[in-house]
A and B are shown apart, each in its own frame.
Chain A
Amino acid sequence: MSICRSLTLLLIALVCLLSLPATAQEDDPGKALLINLADAPASKVEEAVNAIVSSGDERARGWLEAYGNNRLSRVKDTGQVVLVLNNRGRDWEIADPLTGENMGEMSRRELDRVAINNRIRGQLEGILAMLDLNAKDPDVREASAQDMMGKVDASLVAPLEARLEQEENAAVRNRIEEALAIYRVGEGNLEAVDVLAGSLHPRARAALNEAARSDNQELAASATKALESIEQKLKLNRAAETLYFGLSLGSVLVLAAIGLAITFGVMGVINMAHGELIMLGAYTTWGMQQLFPGQPGLALILSIPAGFMVAATAGIIIERSVIQYLKGRPLETLLATFGISLILQQLVRTVISPQNRTVVTPDWMSGSLVINDALSLTLNRLYVLAFALIVFAGLMLIMRKTRLGLEVRAVTQNRAMARSMGIRATRVDIMTFALGSGVAGLAGVALSQLTNVGPNLGQNYIIDSFMVVVFGGVGNLWGTLIAGLSLGTINQLLEPWAGAVLAKIIVLVFIILFIQKRPKGLFPQKGRAAEG
């Protein structure tokens, strides 16, 4: 009867498995530790807490946190220690601290709070940080060491030093050393000043500032010196940050303007609806995210081709319906496309909403790249910067290496000649306009990650885009790139002392004056095409 036997065995095994937690709970050392804490008289509390810490139990953090928050209670009848999950109202929701199992609600009268005094509470933060310092994940360790900076007191020095002995991760070691040094500078230790001189953390600076004001002359002098060296480094970092923001703003300008550089610069068509094509790209991103709820990353990636297609299609419609009839009348083209831009704006307002829409930033794009304590680069801007460069490179390739690019350049230089060589100029016009519009759509996809997506999105960029194209030199993609990046950087450089609005005004006036001096922009087109 082997089947019967094996079934019995299975049953026994199951029973054993089921009863296992129960037996584990009986023998759980945690239970004893908690009861010890709950029973301890005021003088022994510290000992009990230390016992929990040194037990190395993984649940210790949760217990102590609850303890610090007055959420550790004892059931009066059974003497069991429980976690209070919700202490609002008459009945409190409680859980087993050992298994984390929810035990339902219990009247607060039946519970007895485990007492804590303020001295212990004050130490608890450091103790919790110490617990994190023992965590397996080096990131958690580093974060907790950073947390500890400026909070180290005499009681923590010995455990920290012990931790430092064991620590292998250089970054965490560094942090612990800095945390200790802050304490030691406070005690008047001169060597610690040297340790802090290499740190950019604000708490380190605060400690040094304190030291620089101290009565100890030697300490004050060396602290002042250290502060000076820190200030130097900070200045460099701030400059790097401004540059980064400048390049980021510049990349946005380049993205917004590069499509215009093709339609305006290469084709000579002034498309005032360019901003609205950008807006369409941004709204496409929003639409894709509505189609794929919960997957903003996928939606964003799919938006890149989708945004291009939507804007390019809109561009083709605009070209076929209006612009082709206005060939050679640039001022009229300007007015007609401005009309189109008004219609598109109002269309979005009526069909979608006059309010701004929120476009979700996927996880891998949010957050920032931390270089050091004083410098961190926001990831979304970094991605947009890279995206702008990729788009630029792609356009360069198309214009330089493909048949379409060749034909576009031929039609631009001499339309009649190009046509007699067998190039279908009308088709080239459509393709060029579609390309320029599609790139505007791409800009919209990128912008949706940085600014609000609303009906006015395009309007905000149209003047800037024209400025960039004109400043860079019409018909010159490199000019657009350099103009965009430099205008963005100039704007950011001016901002700290002029304010955002004034900086913008100064840049506008600068461009107006610059165009008087060099009407063809930074990089004027040379050769026959320039005479057109």
Chain B
Amino acid sequence: MWLTRPLQERSTQVFLGVLFAALVVVTFLHLFMPQDSALHVSAFTVTLLGKYLCYALLAVAVDLVWGYLGILSLGHGAFFALGGYAMGMYLMRQIGDRGVYGDPVLPDFMVFLNWLELPWFWHGFEMAWFAFIMVLLAPGLLALVFGFLAFRSRVTGVYLSIITQALTFALMLAFFRNEMGFGGNNGLTDFKDILGFNLRTDATRLGLFIATGIALAIGYVICRGIVTSKLGRVSVACRDAEARTRFLGYRVERVQLFVFVVSAMLAGVAGALYVPQVGIINPSEFSPLFSIEIVVWVALGGRATLYGAVIGAILVNYAKTVFTGIMPDAWLFALGGLFVLVTVFLPKGIAGLLQKRRKAKTDNDTPTGQEATA
């Protein structure tokens, strides 16, 4: 089975091991260390880490299309945000009559806009299962339609990057409009509870963090499964020589479409887990800057490695937290510098460095090996 194959891989085992160890350690430190202990992990930190894990999942999704399919998507933030909005709509409906205006059906912003009834696309979101399906379906459908059109007409490379950017930009403008029915500028916020658990309690936050960790693990295994399967090999072939693959008889556009849609769905899941943890979703998640930032996480971590994307996402976002805390002005300098340095000096990212070191080590162990292969 393609899904179980990765579990026998050494790299996947290491990754999952580290991830689960981290989850267990954080949970332990949060629950069993006394509040005043230096080792205690506060609920705030747990949520922060949960946010990083969401970004990590998003980065894995981007790495899947960029690293293994050669498509530089500058619009993955759109899929992330769509998943987030689907979750946000569910959470909005859960507020019920506890909103400021106390309307049992309409969310606050609709009452504020003098709307009399729920728009049709809001129906069904009061049910968790429906909302969770939409988390996958909304980004998936967008990716399907967009990808179908783009890959069929063989829009690739830079052109594709630019139109994905235009896509997320257009969506951002659209979601900023109050008439769209998604809360306009302010987005969706003021959530109360999820699946009956109060979002403000520490236990729920910890639960969400663990859920995000598990989602990342599953997402990683799925991606790993895809890239090690035959389909994954064809997709790498598309990346390296699209025309040649086509001439060999593969339906390049189908491979591209499949991988693209899977990646979009993963991004949607990341968004859905992100929203209850940060407590808000607004159109700024659609901004082209955010989408392009994701690419830099992947580039820093190392393209086409998957675990590199996770490292990159966590590192960059940790740096962002630190920088914006101590000197907010410097963050854009640092981020901009990172873009330049990584692309010019570190084309394979951190993962590339690690591989190089490992390779150097194995080469040292077997000094004759090189001559043999040469």
A residues near B, CB below 8 A? 270, 322, 325-326, 330-336, 338-343, 345-347, 349-350, 463, 466-467, 470, 501-502, 504-505, 508-509, 511-513, 515-517, 519
Cβ-defined partner of A342 (8 Å) among B162, B295, B335:
B335
Q: Say how far A456's CB is from chain B's closest CB, in angstroms.
A: 11
| B336 & A331 in contact (Cβ 8 Å cutoff) | no
B157 to chain A, nearest CB (A): 7
Q: Does B292 lie at the interface of the complex (its beta carbon under 8 Å from any beta carbon of A)?
A: yes
Contact status A345-B158, CB under 8 Å: no
Q: Are A508 and B170 in contact (CB under 8 A)?
A: yes
A476 to chain B, nearest CB (A): 15
Q: Are the C-beta atoms of A336 and B340 separated by less than 8 Å?
A: yes
Whether A463 contacts B166 in the complex (CB less than 8 A), given A343-B332, A519-B153, comes out as: yes
3 closest residue pairs by CB, A with B? A339-B339, A342-B336, A343-B336
Chain B window 153-177, contacts with chain A (Cβ cutoff 8 Å), 1 for yes, 0 for no: 1110111011101110110011011
A331 with B161: CB separation less than 8 A: yes
Question: Is A270 touching B299 in the complex (CB atoms < 8 A)?
Answer: no
- Minimum CB–CB distance from A187 to chain B (whole Å) comes to 48
> In the bound complex, do residue B332 and residue A330 qualify as a contact, i.e. CB atoms below 8 Å apart?
no
**Which of A339, A466, A511 counts the most chain B CB atoms within 10 A?**
A339
Decide yes or no whether B131 CB sits under 8 A from chain A.
Answer: no
For A335, list chain B residues within 8 Å (CB).
292, 295-296, 299, 339, 342-343
Q: Does the CB pair B158–A331 fall under 8 Å?
A: yes
B257 within 8 A of partner (CB) = no
Checking A270, A336, A513 against B158 with a beta-carbon cut-off of 8 angstroms, the contacting residue is A270
A contact residues around B161 at 8 Å (CB): 331, 334
* Beta-carbon contact of B336 and A339 below 8 Å: yes
Is there contact, CB below 8 Å, between A346 and B299? no
Please pick, from B152, B162, B343, B344, the residue contacting A516 in the complex, using a CB distance under 8 A.
B152
Residues of B participating in the A interface, judged by any CB pair closer than 8 Å:
72, 146, 149-150, 152-155, 157-159, 161-163, 165-167, 169-170, 173-174, 176-177, 288, 292, 295-296, 299, 329, 332-333, 335-340, 342-344, 347
Contacts of A270 in B (CB 8 A): 158
**Contact across chains for B163 and A339 when beta carbons are under 8 A apart:** no
Q: Is the CB of A519 within 8 A of B155?
A: yes
Interface of A is mostly: helix
CA distance A335 to B336 in the complex (A): 9
Residues of A within 8 Å of B347, CB to CB, are 332
List residues of chain B with CB within 8 A of the CB of A466.
Answer: 162, 165-166
Contact A326 B335 (CB under 8 A): no
- Cα–Cα distance between A473 and B306 once the two chains are bound (Å): 36
A350 to B336, CA, bound (A): 14
Among B295, B338, B343, the most chain A Cβ lie within 10 Å of the Cβ of B343
Q: Quick one: which of B173, B338, B340 has the most chain A CB within 10 A?
A: B340
In the bound assembly, the distance between CA atoms of A463 and B337 in angstroms comes to 22
Distance A325 CA – B347 CA, assembled complex (angstroms): 11
User: Quick one: which of A331, A508, A511 contacts B157, CB cutoff 8 A?
Assistant: A331
- The answer to whether A512 and B167 touch across the interface, beta carbons within 8 angstroms, is yes
Chain A residues with CB below 8 A from B149, complex form? 513, 516
Q: A336-B339, A516-B153 given as contacts; is B333 within 8 A of A463 (CB)?
A: no
Minimal Cβ-Cβ distance residue in A for B70:
A331
Contacts A/B (CB < 8 Å), 5 sampled? A322-B340, A339-B336, A340-B339, A505-B174, A519-B155
Instruction: For the complex formed, measure the closest distance between the CB of A330 and the CB atoms of chain B, giving whole angstroms.
Output: 5
Q: Which chain A residues lie closer than 8 Å to B177 at the CB level? A: 501-502
| B163 x A512 contact (CB < 8 A) | yes
Kindly state the separation between the CA atoms of A386 and B349 in the bound complex, as whole angstroms.
Answer: 48
A515 vs B155: C-alpha distance when bound (angstroms): 8
- Known contacts A343-B336, A515-B155: does B169 contact A332 (CB below 8 Å)? no
Q: Is the CB of B170 within 8 A of A338?
A: no
CA distance A345 to B339 in the complex (A): 14
Q: Report the nearest B residue to A354, measured CB to CB.
A: B329
